[in-house]
C-alpha cells in the first residue's frame, strides 16, 4: 500500500483524524516550549501559591510553591511525550528482534527465548517495574527503562506470533530455494511483512506507555523535583486535592487528552493498515441477507418446490458493486437432484446461500428477483418465517465440515439442537433421534460418537455428521454446497454413495453445488452450468454431458483430464473468467470463445429453450441441438 492510499483511509476515519490533529497540536506546542513566552517553570513564589486559573499573570494559576502551572504543564507535556515515545521505541525494537528471531528459527531458540519472555509476563507488570526502579533508584530515566523493559514481552509475543505464520508461508521456502541466507530472509522477506504489525502494536501502546511513566512519576518514583512531568505534577497536586483541585485537574486532563488522541490515532492507523479491515471483512454478517429490490417478479403459474426467478445478488464493497449473480432462474422439483456446476467465482455458492438468506451481509445484498419455496416467497418473508423454514424444510450441507461444525459443542448436542430448534422434543427423545440419524449416515459406534467433539472425528465422519444434521427434520430439500470438495477421493466416493442412497430412500430433493463434472454425472438428474453469475445451460445430465450445447460447457468438459486416456495435451480454454465488477456486455464468455461474433458482444442473450427440457444462453449453440 502506498502512502497516499494510507492517508486517504486514515482521513476517512474522522475520529482518528481528529485525534491526529489534537496530537499534532499538542506536539507542536511541546516542541515550541523553549521559544514560547513562558515563565520559568521552576521560579517559586510561595506568596502566590495555589492561585486559581485565570489569575493575573498566571493563566492556569499556580501550584503549591507558587510556580506557574501553564509553563510547568507545557514543559511537563514535553517530558511525558519524549519519555513515552522513547520507551515505546525501545520496547518495540528489542521486542521485535526477539519476536522475529524466535518465530523464524522456531524449535529450541524459540523455546528458550519465549520461556524467558513468559517469565517476564509472569509478573504483574508493575511489580517488575517497581523492582527495577527499586534497584536503579527513583528517577525519570530509570522509570523509562522500567516501562520499556516491562513492555518488551508484549511486542515479542505479538511479533513472534505473526512471524511464525509467515515463516511457514511458502514464499519463505521459495526464498530459501532462491539461495537466501537466514538473516537475509528475516530482513527482506519477514520484516517488510511484520512492519505493519509493529507499527500497529506501537500505535496502540504509545498511549499506554505515556500513562505508565506518568503513573510511576505520580507515585514519586519517576521524575524528581523540581523537574516535573505530567505524572509528578498530578502527584504533587494530589496533596491539596480537596482544597485546591485545579493543581491536579489540569495535568490530569492533559494526560487524558494526550492518551485519548494517541489512542484515536492508533485505532485509525490500525484500521488503515489491517488488510482485513480494508476489505470490510471485519463486519459481522447479519442473521439474514439484506434485500434491496425494486419489484417482486410475478409468481410463475406453476412454481416448483424451489423456484428461483431472476435472482440478483451483489456485494457492495465501498463504492464498488460486484455482481455475483446477474439474474439466476432455476427450479428444483420434489425428489430431484439438480447439479449446479461452475468454476470459482461463477456464483454457484452465492446462489445456494441466497436461497435462505445466508449470504454474508454486509457486504452481500439481494438486489432483485424472487425465491419461492412451495409457492411462498422467501426474500420478502418476515425473519421468523424464514427461520422456521431453515433447517426444517430446507437444510444445508456445507463444504469444510471442520469449520462448519461448532468446535466447542459435542456432535450429539449439535444434532439435538437442530431438532429442538423446530420441535419441542424432550432431551432424551431428541437424543434417541440423533442416534438414529448417526446410524442412518452409517457412522460406526454411533452411540459413542454422540459425545465426541468435531475435532475428534475424521473429515469423512464430520461430513456425515453434517448430513445427519441436515436430515434432522426430514426436509424437502437439501442444499449441498460443495460437500465433498475438502475430502479425499476415496472418502468422497463414500459420501456421494451415502447421499445418493439417502435421497432415494427419503425422497428428498437436492440442490448440489460442485465444480466437478464427474460428481454431477454420478449423482444428478439435471444440471445447470453457471458462468460469470448466470446460468448458461441447463438440461438433463446425460444429454448435456453427451452433447453440450454451450461452447463453454463443451470446452469445460473437454479440459478436465479423464482417467484412462493416457498421456496427452489437454484442451485448455484461453484467458480468464471476467471480473464480476466489470462484466462485458452480451455473452460473458465471448472473449474466450472461438465462435464469438460481434453479435455476441452486444445486447442481452436469453436462456432459450433448445430441445426437450434443455435451455442454452448462446447465439451459436453447438451441434444439432440448436
Partner 1 sequence: MTSTLRIRDLDKRFGGGRTLFGFGAEKPSVHAVQSANLDVASGETLGIVGESGCGKSTLARMIVGLLPPTEGRIEIEGQDYAERAGKDPAAFGKLIQYVFQDPISSLNPRKTIRQILEAPLKLLHAMPAAERGARIDDLLDAVNLRREFLDRYPHEFSGGQAQRIGIARALAAAPRILVLDEPVSALDVSVQAQVLNLLAELKREFELTYLFISHDLAVVEAVADRVAVMYFGAIVEMAPAEKIFAKPLHHYTVLLARSAPTVGRPLGAPEAEDAELPDPLNPPPGCAFARRCPAATEICRRERPPLEENGTQHLVACHNPAR
Partner 2 sequence: MGGYILKRLLAAIPVILGITVIVFLIMSLIPGDPATAILGSYATPENVEKLNRDLGLDKPLVSQYFIWLGNMVQGDFGRSFSLNRPVLDEVLERFGATLILAGTSLVLCSIFGILAGVISASRQYGLADKAITFVVLIGISIPSFFLGMMMILLFAVKLRWLPVSGMYAIYGGGDLPDLLRHLAMPAIALAVVATGVIARLSRSAMLEVLRQDFIRTARAKGVKENRVVWRHALKAAMVSIIPVIGVQAGFVLSGAVYIETVFQWPGVGRMLVTAILTRDILLVQGGVVIVAACYVLFNLAVDVAQSLLDPRVKI
- Which residues contact partner 1 by CB under 8 A? 169-171, 173-180, 189, 192-193, 343-344, 442-444, 458, 460-461, 488-494, 496-497, 500, 515-519, 521-523, 545, 555-557, 559-574, 576-577
User: Is 228 or 496 the residue whose CB approaches partner 1 more closely?
Assistant: 496
User: Is 594 or 604 the residue whose CB approaches partner 1 more closely?
Assistant: 594
Q: How far is the CB of 130 from partner 2 (least distance, A)?
A: 5
CA distance 209 to 200: 14
Positions in 341-380 near partner 2 (CB under 8 A): 356, 358, 360
User: Is 43 or 127 the residue whose CB approaches partner 2 more closely?
Assistant: 127
User: Is 362 or 586 the residue whose CB approaches partner 2 more closely?
Assistant: 362
Q: How far is the CB of 121 from partner 2 (least distance, A)?
A: 8
Q: How far is the CB of 503 from partner 1 (least distance, A)?
A: 11
User: With binding defined as CB under 8 A, does residue 400 bind partner 2?
Assistant: yes
Contact in structure between 359 and 313 (CB atoms under 8 Å): yes
Partner whose binding site includes residue 395, from partner 2, partner 1, none (CB under 5 to 8 Å by kind):
partner 2
User: Is 230 or 544 the residue whose CB approaches partner 1 more closely?
Assistant: 544
Q: How far is the CB of 104 from partner 1 (least distance, A)?
A: 14
Q: Which stretch binds partner 2 (CB under 8 A): 396-404, 500-508, 543-551, 601-609?
A: 396-404
Contact in structure between 254 and 210 (CB atoms under 8 Å): no
DSSP letter (8 states) at residue 185: I
Q: Is 430 helix (H, G, I), strand (E, B) or coil?
A: helix
356-377: string of b/e by CB count within 10 Å (b at 16+)?
bbbbebbbbbbbbbbbbbeeeb
Cell numbers standing for residue 82: 519524549
Query: What's the CA dihedral at 271, 274, 278, 284 to 10 degrees?
Result: -80
Cell numbers standing for residue 468: 445427519
Partner whose binding site includes residue 453, from partner 1, partner 2, none (CB under 5 to 8 Å by kind):
partner 2
Contacts 24+ apart (CB under 8 A), 455-458: 455/402, 455/407, 457/411, 458/491
User: With binding defined as CB under 8 A, does residue 392 bind partner 2?
Assistant: yes
Among 16, 23, 73, 128, binds partner 2 (CB under 8 A): 128
Among 51, 83, 221, 350, binds partner 2 (CB under 8 A): 221
Query: How far is C-alpha 568 from the geometric centre of its chain's CA atoms?
Result: 42
Positions in 460-479 near partner 2 (CB under 8 A): 466, 469, 472
DSSP letter (8 states) at residue 524: -
CA distance 464 to 484: 11
Contact in structure between 186 and 160 (CB atoms under 8 Å): no
Among 214, 438, 477, 496, binds partner 2 (CB under 8 A): 214
User: Is 24 or 576 the residue whose CB approaches partner 1 more closely?
Assistant: 576
Q: Quick one: which of 221, 224, 202 has its CA closest to 90?
A: 202
User: Is 223 or 404 the residue whose CB approaches partner 2 more closely?
Assistant: 404
CA distance 14 to 289: 28
User: Is 26 or 114 the residue whose CB approaches partner 1 more closely?
Assistant: 114
Cell numbers standing for residue 567: 498421456
Q: How far is the CB of 177 from partner 2 (least distance, A)?
A: 34
Partner whose binding site includes residue 377, from partner 2, partner 1, none (CB under 5 to 8 Å by kind):
none
User: Is 69 or 557 the residue whose CB approaches partner 2 more closely?
Assistant: 69
Contact in structure between 414 and 469 (CB atoms under 8 Å): yes
CA distance 208 to 21: 19
Which x/- pattern, by CB under 8 A, does the window 43-82 give for partner 2? ----------------------------------------
User: With binding defined as CB under 8 A, does residue 21 bind partner 2?
Assistant: no
Contact in structure between 404 and 398 (CB atoms under 8 Å): yes
CA distance 109 to 237: 49
Contact in structure between 311 and 329 (CB atoms under 8 Å): yes
299 phi-psi bin (left φ>0, alpha ψ -120 to 50, beta other):
beta
In Å, how far are 37, 341, 533, 537, 623 from 587, measured between CA atoms?
74, 18, 11, 13, 19
Among 168, 169, 320, 406, binds partner 2 (CB under 8 A): 406
Partner whose binding site includes residue 422, from partner 1, partner 2, none (CB under 5 to 8 Å by kind):
partner 2
Q: How far is the CB of 410 from partner 2 (least distance, A)?
A: 8
Among 245, 507, 603, 623, binds partner 2 (CB under 8 A): 245
CA distance 444 to 248: 72
Q: How far is the CB of 465 from partner 1 (least distance, A)?
A: 13
User: With binding defined as CB under 8 A, does residue 263 bind partner 2?
Assistant: yes
User: Is 174 or 432 the residue whose CB approaches partner 1 more closely?
Assistant: 174
User: Is 100 or 128 the residue whose CB approaches partner 2 more closely?
Assistant: 128
Amino acid at each position: 500500500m502506498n502512502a497516499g492510499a494510507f492517508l486517504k483511509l486514515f482521513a476517512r476515519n474522522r475520529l482518528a483524524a481528529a485525534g491526529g490533529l489534537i496530537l499534532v497540536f499538542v506536539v507542536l506546542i511541546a516542541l515550541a516550549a523553549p521559544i514560547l513566552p513562558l515563565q520559568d517553570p521552576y521560579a517559586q513564589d510561595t506568596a502566590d501559591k495555589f492561585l486559581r486559573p485565570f489569575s493575573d499573570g498566571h493563566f492556569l494559576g499556580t501550584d503549591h510553591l507558587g510556580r506557574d502551572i501553564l509553563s510547568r504543564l507545557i514543559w511537563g507535556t514535553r517530558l511525558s511525550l519524549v519519555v513515552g515515545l522513547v520507551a515505546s521505541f525501545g520496547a518495540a525494537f528489542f521486542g521485535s528482534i526477539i519476536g522475529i528471531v524466535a518465530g523464524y528459527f522456531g524449535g529450541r531458540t524459540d523455546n528458550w527465548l519465549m520461556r524467558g519472555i513468559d517469565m517476564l509476563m509472569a509478573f504483574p507488570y508493575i511489580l517488575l517495574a517497581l523492582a527495577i526502579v527499586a534497584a536503579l533508584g527513583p528517577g525519570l530515566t530509570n522509570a523509562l527503562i522500567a516501562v520499556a523493559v516491562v513492555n518488551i514481552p508484549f511486542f515479542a509475543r505479538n511479533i513472534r506470533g505473526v512471524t511464525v505464520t509467515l515463516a511457514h508461508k511458502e514464499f519463505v521456502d521459495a526464498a530459501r530455494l532462491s539461495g537466501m541466507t537466514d538473516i537475509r530472509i528475516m530482513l527482506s522477506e519477514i520484516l517488510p511483512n511484520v512492519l505493519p504489525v509493529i507499527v500497529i502494536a506501537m500505535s496502540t501502546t504509545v498511549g499506554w506507555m505515556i500513562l505508565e511513566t506518568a503513573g510511576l512519576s505520580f507515585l514519586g518514583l519517576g521524575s524528581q523535583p523540581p523537574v516535573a512531568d505530567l505524572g509528578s505534577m498530578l502527584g504533587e497536586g494530589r496533596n491539596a486535592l480537596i482544597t485546591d483541585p485545579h493543581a491536579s485537574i489540569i495535568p490530569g486532563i492533559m494526560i487524558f487528552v494526550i492518551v485519548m488522541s494517541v489512542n484515536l490515532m492508533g485505532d485509525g492507523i490500525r484500521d488503515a493498515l489491517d488488510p482485513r479491515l480494508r476489505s470490510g471483512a471485519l463486519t459481522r454478517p447479519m442473521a439474514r441477507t439484506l434485500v434491496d429490490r425494486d419489484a417482486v417478479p410475478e409468481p410463475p403459474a406453476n412454481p416448483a418446490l424451489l423456484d428461483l426467478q431472476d435472482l440478483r445478488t451483489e456485494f457492495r464493497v465501498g463504492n464498488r458493486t460486484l455482481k455475483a449473480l446477474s439474474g439466476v432462474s432455476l427450479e428444483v422439483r420434489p425428489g430431484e437432484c439438480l447439479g449446479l456446476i461452475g468454476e470459482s467465482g461463477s456464483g454457484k455458492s452465492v446462489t445456494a446461500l441466497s436461497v435462505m438468506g445466508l449470504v454474508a451481509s454486509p457486504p452481500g445484498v439481494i438486489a432483485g428477483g424472487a425465491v419461492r419455496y412451495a409457492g411462498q416467497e422467501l426474500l420478502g418473508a418476515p425473519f421468523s418465517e424464514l427461520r422456521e423454514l431453515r433447517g426444517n424444510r430446507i437444510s444445508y450441507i456445507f463444504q469444510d465440515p471442520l469449520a462448519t461444525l461448532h468446535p466447542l459443542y459435542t456432535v450429539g448436542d449439535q444434532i439435538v439442537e437442530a431438532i429442538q430448534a423446530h420441535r419441542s422434543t424432550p432431551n432424551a427423545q431428541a437424543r434417541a433421534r440423533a442416534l438414529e440419524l448417526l446410524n442412518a449416515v452409517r457412522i460406526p459406534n454411533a452411540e459413542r460418537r454422540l459425545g465426541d467433539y468435531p475435532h475428534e472425528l475424521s473429515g469423512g465422519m464430520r461430513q456425515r455428521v453434517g448430513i445427519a444434521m441436515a436430515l434432522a427434520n426430514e426436509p424437502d430439500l437439501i442444499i449441498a454446497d460443495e460437500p465433498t470438495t475438502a475430502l479425499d477421493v476415496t472418502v468422497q466416493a463414500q459420501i456421494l454413495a451415502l447421499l445418493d442412497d439417502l435421497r432415494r430412500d427419503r425422497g428428498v430433493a437436492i440442490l448440489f453445488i460442485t465444480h466437478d463434472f464427474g460428481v454431477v454425472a454420478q449423482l444428478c438428474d439435471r444440471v445447470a452450468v453457471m458462468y460469470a453469475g448466470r446460468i448458461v445451460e441447463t438440461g438433463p445430465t446425460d444429454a448435456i454431458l453427451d452433447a453440450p450445447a454451450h461452447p463453454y460447457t463443451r470446452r469445460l468438459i473437454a479440459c478436465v483430464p479423464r482417467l484412462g486416456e493416457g498421456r496427452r495435451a489437454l484442451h485448455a480454454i484461453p484467458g480468464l473468467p471476467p471480473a464480476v465488477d466489470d462484466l462485458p456486455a452480451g455473452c460473458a464468455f465471448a472473449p474466450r470463445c472461438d465462435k464469438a461474433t460481434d453479435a455476441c458482444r452486444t445486447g442481452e442473450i436469453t436462456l432459450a429453450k433448445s430441445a426437450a427440457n434443455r435451455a442454452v444462453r448462446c447465439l451459436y449453440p453447438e451441434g444439432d441441438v440448436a
